[in-house]
Chains A and B, each alone.
Chain A
Amino acid sequence: MPGGLQCWDANGKLIVDIGDYNTRYLGRTSVTMAANTNQVTGAFGGLTSSGSFVVVASASSSSYYTPSNFAARSYDGGYRIFKLSAYTAAVTLTLDMYAFI
Chain B
Amino acid sequence: MSGYQVFNSAGALVIDSDYKGTYYRDTVNYTSITDIGYYNITCQLGNSNDMGHANASVPVDDNLRWFKPNNNAKMFFTGPDWVTANSGSMARSRSDMPVESGYRDVFNSAGELVWSAVMAAKIPRILGFFDVPANFDLDNSVYSQAIGNDSWILVSSVPGGNISDDGSGTGFSGPFFRFQNGTLQCQWVNKLQQSWASTLRPYGMRIPYGVFSNLS
Contact = CB atoms under 8 A, between A and B. Distances in A.
Contact of A21 (B78, B117, B156, B208): B208
Given A7-B120, A66-B60, A73 B7 contact: no
Given A20-B14, A67-B60, A82 B120 contact: no
A98 B64 CA distance: 10
A42 B50 CA distance: 40
A51 B164 CA distance: 31
B8 interface: yes
A53 B199 contact: no
Given A66-B79, A72-B159, A86-B171, A21 B8 contact: yes
Contacts of B205: 73
A35 interface: no
Interface in B168-183: 169, 171, 173-174
B126 A21 contact: yes
B161 interface: yes
Given A68-B160, A73-B159, A26 B19 contact: yes
Question: Interface residues of A toward B: which range?
Answer: 35 or more
A98 to B, nearest CB: 7
A27 to B, nearest CB: 9
Nearest to A83: B194
A58 interface: yes
A50 B194 CA distance: 23
B173 A22 contact: no
Question: Interface residues of B toward A: which range?
Answer: 35 or more
A19 B10 CA distance: 7
B1 interface: no
B25 interface: no
A23 B126 contact: yes
Contact of A75 (B103, B173, B203): B203
A101 interface: yes
Contact of B77 (A16, A25, A68, A72): A68
Contacts of A98: 22, 64, 157
Nearest to B122: A15
Contacts of B206: 50, 53
B8 A84 contact: no
B8 A7 contact: no
A86 B121 contact: no
A7 B21 CA distance: 16
A57 B11 CA distance: 30
B154 to A, nearest CB: 7
6 contacts: A16-B125, A21-B10, A53-B208, A68-B60, A99-B19, A100-B126
Interface of B: 6-16, 19-22, 60-62, 64, 77-79, 93, 95, 103-104, 117-118, 120-121, 123-127, 154, 156-157, 159-162, 164, 166, 169, 171, 173-174, 192-194, 199-200, 203, 205-206, 208, 210, 213
